[in-house]
Amino acid sequence: MSLDPAMPRHPDAAVIPDDLPGGRAAGRADGLAGHDVADRAEPAGLAGPVRERGGGVLIAVLAFAGITVALMQTLLVPVIGRLPLLLDTSIANATWAMTATLLTGAVATPIMGRLGDMYGKRRMILVSICALIAGSLVAAVSSELMVVVAGRAIQGFAMGAIPLGISLMRDRLPRERLGGALALMSSSLGVGGALGLPLSAYVAQNFDWHVLFYGAAVLGAVAFALVLLLVPESPVRTGGRFDVTGALGLSAGLLALLLPVSKGAEWGWTNPATLGLAAAGIAILVLWGILELRLREPLIDLRTTARRQVLLTNLTAITVGVSFYAMSLVLPQLLELPTSTGYGLGQTLIVAGLAVAPMGIAMMLVSPLSARISAARGPKTSLILGLLVIGGAYTAAQGLMNAVWQVALISTLVGGGIGLAYSALPTLIMGAVPTSETGAANGVNTLMRSIGTSVSSAVLGAVLARNTISLHGSDVPDMTGFRISFLIATAVVGVGILLASFLPSGRPAAGRAVTRRAATAP
């Protein structure tokens, strides 16, 4: 496949004509909020979006690909306690099998988004899925720590497929299908993670653990074939050169910053390595930002990212990421701890996974609802409503952790809230950026969610490590640690609501149409 951008890039112009989502068309059912981006003309010579009739097959295939990629987040969660034995290494070293995927996924999402804008979103989705297949096969053939970690790192590069799928949907789908499709694709990040828990637990409990990776490779192969055969390429391209220096700088800065965040509890927060890497990461990212602002064709257009709607949406995405991981970290442990602790529910891996799985199902089911709310009241309303549901669920969890059905109820409520919030995020982003930059913009938004999960893992991991009881010679989290974790998640959700309240409010489409008709009437 030749990688030749179609046309030169016009960095200061937008590509959202009036008849497209994000533009000013009457009856805009997708709910995208139009701003100054929508008021400018499309660059000459740059292909515009082509609308597919129906689009059901495209939606289904891209959602399946997104869920398959997201499964990698929780693939090893059911066997995490056995990893030191399986890999013949220490607990500290075994955690690299989880951390590697997180780090490479964070780096890959904005880079793959930019490459998709330049060379084709479908093409880069296929490249991402190839990374999933290759990483799975590398990890499947060995029990050596370094080989498994390398395979997991390669798997992480597949995470770019989700923001690419969101952007491709915008380019190909008719307006009346776009809102629900974006909501489903955005939620796939959480749906895959939630559904992966019971599936991985079943495989881990009944088969050799390497089957997890072979199964991931098979799912990846199916997703690759479906995308290759059934998903057309986007005609929207932005030309220019790929910012190699910017990509290297962003990668170095993110790795240096996220590594101490992920390993700080293990290394010690005051350890010189932790503080030094964090300081280096901040310094690199500052220098990278200065360089990007001076380039004509940057990896990420920071001026676009600094727009009020984009900036606040990305900051809110961090809080949603924190709240998502809080439940994923706390509830499975509560379910699996023995009843002898006085609060553990003593369930098997499979039952624990099934109790948390309703979160993913709820995300999938509320996606159409989120699209309807966004179309009628604006995506800001959908985002705030989702955060309120999450906050209410975590508040209720303080008194509902005594039975499996209560845990399942909390996971369902949290999943519904996260589904509403996740679904609104790409709509807000794409309502404020040019069509030619949607891949990179959605990649950055997905990166913000990943940063949220990393911060949540570090902070809540430290809380649980400080509040423990001794059980059969080992320290396990106590109920105080679980309650504090939920309080922190609730507080972070409150910050998210505050940030979202400052987002611009979009009027419902009907109201805009009436206003335009009145303005143009004789």
Please tell me whether residue 233 adopts helix, strand or coil conformation. coil
Residues in the chain: 522
Question: Using CB atoms within 10 A of its CB, is residue 503 exposed (0-12), middle (13-18) or buried (19+)?
Answer: buried
Model pTM score = 0.76
Residue 333, number of CB atoms within 10 A of its CB: 16
pLDDT digits (tens, 9 = 90+) for 357-396: 788 788 888 878 888 888 888 889 999 999 999 999 999 8
Average pLDDT in the 159-177 region?
A: 84
Q: Which one is the CATH code of 54-242+299-516: 3.40.50.12780, 1.20.1250.20, 2.170.190.11, 3.40.50.300?
A: 1.20.1250.20
Predicted confidence at residue 433, as pLDDT, reads 79
Question: pLDDT band at residue 45, thresholds of 50, 70 and 90?
Answer: very low
In this predicted structure, the answer to whether residue 5 has a pLDDT above a threshold of 70 is no
- Per-residue pLDDT at 118: 84
> Which has the minimum average pLDDT: 60-69, 244-253, 307-316, 354-363?
354-363
Of 21-25, 231-235, 413-417, 494-498, give the range with the top mean pLDDT: 494-498
Q: What is the largest CA-CA distance in the chain?
A: 83
How confident is the model at residue 52, as a pLDDT? Answer: 55
Q: What is the pLDDT of residues 219-256, one digit of tens each?
A: 999 999 999 999 888 887 776 788 888 889 888 988 88
Cα distances (angstroms) measured from residue 429 to each of 15, 22, 222, 243: 14, 10, 30, 22
CA dist 231 and 461 (Å) reads 41
How crowded is residue 374: how many other Cβ atoms within 10 Å of its Cβ?
31
Q: What is the DSSP string of 287-344?
A: HHHHHHHH-SS-SS-HHHHTSHHHHHHHHHHHHHHHHHHHHHHHHHHHHHS-GGGSS-
Confidence (pLDDT) at 392:
92
Q: Is residue 97's pLDDT more than 60? A: yes
Question: What's the mean per-residue pLDDT of the chain?
Answer: 79
* pLDDT at residue 128, rounded to an integer: 93
pLDDT at 476 > cutoff 80: no
Range among 3-7, 173-177, 421-425, 437-441 with highest mean pLDDT value: 421-425
Burial class (CB in 10 A: 0-12, 13-18, 19+), 221: middle
Judged by average pLDDT, the poorest of 44-53, 60-69, 343-352, 376-385 is 44-53
Neighbouring C-alpha atoms within 13 Å toward the C-beta of 424:
36
Report the range of poorest mean pLDDT among 100-109, 290-299, 461-470.
461-470
